[in-house]
């Protein structure tokens, strides 16, 4: 089998292997390329988990991830990602297609949702009063200070929370208690009739209802809630409380409309750029330019299928990496064509000039691509987040561009020479 045929088999093989994934995705009615939130719109939040003193970070973080997922996506149907990215960091990504607004996402994340029903004896407290649990730490400006023993029910005792209209106007959150919680609640309410049970959420008094009779199994929290607030509270209670403090390190939100606009413009710009490059190559290298353009088309399609196969999310810095690798692909072609021209000037012709041109260009294409590849590796290893996205597309882009220049362009040109 000749070398040329082998090359074509390689090309067709690579294209068909990598195109399986995107074809399956399209057949499945999915988007073959996943776009980063900076291009498609959405909110991206990086949070730091601060565990309570004497608690182990390793044990806390998975719980936080779980609570966050439940809060943001209680049914588990939205494409929301909550991922631990380092020892104490969690990255949360919510696409705008999920219908969540960035600020609601932020609110849901920030709240710790500590619910406590506190026995305050014969004293009632106003909604909004500051409540502090006396756990040995300092507390200032507290309207209500209570101890652990006064807590009758905690968020953890809840089985389920739902929302219903409040007979006195507004909305309330009804809760159903677990078996142990239900027993404790019944015992307490039976023995403390006419006393107050103050509902404390995240150190704030929500309401301070009076106990009229023994309560079994369920109860309700009625503050002056709007439907949105009641829904949010029910959601937080159902997801469970956070066992750690949360610090937002970074939040980026891209409005759906703005993201779409920047994506459309970028795609249009990329097309214009590619067409200009193609025209220049055709003008400069005539028939060989056709081979270069064809090789670039194959380069782009392999790259596209690879991104799809490896489930790489394309972000703005990722596009930067792409531009560099496209530039390297064009450059490799230019180097080869200039070399062939030189060989022809020195009297060689046809296939011989072609062979010499390619073999002379090999060392420079190797060195240039290896150094850029090394930069990509360093970045991949050291950088985080967006710069890492740049490194990934660059590394893949370089591998494909070397293949495109040394195998695809060569196969096309040799086929032409052979047919003459």
Partner 1 sequence: MNKELNFLKMSKITVWVSLLILTMGIFSMIQNTKTFKMEKADGTISSLPLNLGIEFTGGSVFEVNLGEESSTTELRELLSESLTKNPQIQKSGDVYIIRTEFISNPDEIYLLLESKYKNFNKDEDVSSERIGPLFSQELAKRAYLATFIGMLVILLYISIRFSFIFAQGALVALVHDILFVLSYFAIFKVEIGLPFVAAILTILGYSINDTIVVFDRIRENMNKLKNEKFSKICETSLWQTLSRTINTTTTTLLAIMAIQIFGGATLKPFTTALIVGFIAGTYSSIFIATPYVNSKQK
Min. distance of Cβ 373 from partner 1 in angstroms? 9
Signed CA dihedral, 93, 98, 99, 104: sign only: negative
Min. distance of Cβ 111 from partner 1 in angstroms? 12
Beta-carbon neighbour count of residue 168 at 10 Å? 8
Min. distance of Cβ 29 from partner 1 in angstroms? 25
400: helix, strand or coil? helix
User: Which residue's CB is nearer to partner 1, number 78 or number 151?
Assistant: 78
Q: Strand 89-95 and strand 115-119: pairing? A: unpaired
Min. distance of Cβ 7 from partner 1 in angstroms? 24
User: Which residue's CB is nearer to partner 1, number 26 or number 382?
Assistant: 382
User: Which residue's CB is nearer to partner 1, number 197 or number 319?
Assistant: 319
- Alpha-carbon distance of 298 to 11, in angstroms, equals 9
Burial 51-69 (b: 16+ CB within 10 A, else e): beeeeeeeebbeebbebbb
Min. distance of Cβ 14 from partner 1 in angstroms? 24
- Alpha-carbon distance of 230 to 339, in angstroms, equals 73
User: Which residue's CB is nearer to partner 1, number 24 or number 284?
Assistant: 284
- Alpha-carbon distance of 133 to 143, in angstroms, equals 11
User: Which residue's CB is nearer to partner 1, number 145 or number 370?
Assistant: 370
Min. distance of Cβ 136 from partner 1 in angstroms? 28
Signed CA dihedral, 396, 402, 405, 410: sign only: negative
Min. distance of Cβ 38 from partner 1 in angstroms? 8
- DSSP string of 335-369? HHHHHHHHHHHTT--HHHHHHHHHHHHHHHHHHHH
The number of helices, as runs of H, and strands, as runs of E, in the chain is 11, 15
User: Which residue's CB is nearer to partner 1, number 20 or number 227?
Assistant: 227
The Cα-based distances of 150 to 135, 147, 194, 355 in angstroms read 12, 6, 16, 88
> Which letter does DSSP use for residue 211 in this model?
P
User: Which residue's CB is nearer to partner 1, number 331 or number 417?
Assistant: 331
Min. distance of Cβ 33 from partner 1 in angstroms? 18
Q: Strand 245-254 and strand 42-50: pairing? A: antiparallel
User: Which residue's CB is nearer to partner 1, number 253 or number 313?
Assistant: 253
CB-CB contact of 113 with 161 (8 Å): no
User: Which residue's CB is nearer to partner 1, number 39 or number 237?
Assistant: 39
Min. distance of Cβ 370 from partner 1 in angstroms? 7
Mark out the alpha helices in 37-145 (DSSP H runs): 37-40, 57-72, 102-110
Min. distance of Cβ 27 from partner 1 in angstroms? 32
Min. distance of Cβ 342 from partner 1 in angstroms? 7
- DSSP string of 284-321? HHHHHHHHHHHHHHHHHHHHHHHHHHTTPEE-HHHHHH
User: Which residue's CB is nearer to partner 1, number 353 or number 394?
Assistant: 394
- Alpha-carbon distance of 240 to 155, in angstroms, equals 7
Could you tell me how far CA 61 lies from the centroid of its own chain?
18
Interior CA angle at 132 toward 235 and 144, to 5°?
Answer: 110
User: Which residue's CB is nearer to partner 1, number 63 or number 385?
Assistant: 385
């Amino acid at each position: 089998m000749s070398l040329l045929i082998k090359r074509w088999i390689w090309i067709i093989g690579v294209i068909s292997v990598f195109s399986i994934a995107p074809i399956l995705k399209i057949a499945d009615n999915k988007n073959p390329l996943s776009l980063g939130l900076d291009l498609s719109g959405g909110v991206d939040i990086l949070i730091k988990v601060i565990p309570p003193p004497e608690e182990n970070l390793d044990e806390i973080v998975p719980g936080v991830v779980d609570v966050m997922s439940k809060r943001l996506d209680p049914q588990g149907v939205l494409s929301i990602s909550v991922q631990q990215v380092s020892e104490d960091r969690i990255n949360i990504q919510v696409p705008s297609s999920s219908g969540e607004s960035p600020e609601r996402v932020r609110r849901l994340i920030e709240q710790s949702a500590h619910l406590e029903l506190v026995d305050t004896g014969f004293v009632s407290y106003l909604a909004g009063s500051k409540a502090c649990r006396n756990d040995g730490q300092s507390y200032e400006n507290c309207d209500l200070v209570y101890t652990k023993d006064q807590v009758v029910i905690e968020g953890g005792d809840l089985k389920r929370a739902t929302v219903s209209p409040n007979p006195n106007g507004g909305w309330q959150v009804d809760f159903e208690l677990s078996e142990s919680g239900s027993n404790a609640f019944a015992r307490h309410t039976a023995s403390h009739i006419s006393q107050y049970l103050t509902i404390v959420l995240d150190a704030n008094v929500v309401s301070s209802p009076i106990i009229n009779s023994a309560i079994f199994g369920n109860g309700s929290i009625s503050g002056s809630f709007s439907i949105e607030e009641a829904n949010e509270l029910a959601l937080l209670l159902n997801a469970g409380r956070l066992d750690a403090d949360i610090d937002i390190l970074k939040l980026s939100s891209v409005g759906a409309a703005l993201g779409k606009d920047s994506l459309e413009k970028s795609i249009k710009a990329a097309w214009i750029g590619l067409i200009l490059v193609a025209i220049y190559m055709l003008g400069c290298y005539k028939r060989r330019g056709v081979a270069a353009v064809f090789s670039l088309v194959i380069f782009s399609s392999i790259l596209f299928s690879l991104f799809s196969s490896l489930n790489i999310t394309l972000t703005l810095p990722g596009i930067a990496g792409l531009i560099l690798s496209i530039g390297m692909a064009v450059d490799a072609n230019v180097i080869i064509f200039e070399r062939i021209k030189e060989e022809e000037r020195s009297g060689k012709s046809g296939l011989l000039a072609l062979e010499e041109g390619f073999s002379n260009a090999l060392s420079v294409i190797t060195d240039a691509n290896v150094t850029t590849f090394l930069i990509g590796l360093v970045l991949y290893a050291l950088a985080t987040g967006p710069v890492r996205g740049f490194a990934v597309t660059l590394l893949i882009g370089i591998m494909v561009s070397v293949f495109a220049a040394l195998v695809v362009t060569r196969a096309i040109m040799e086929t032409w020479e052979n047919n003459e």
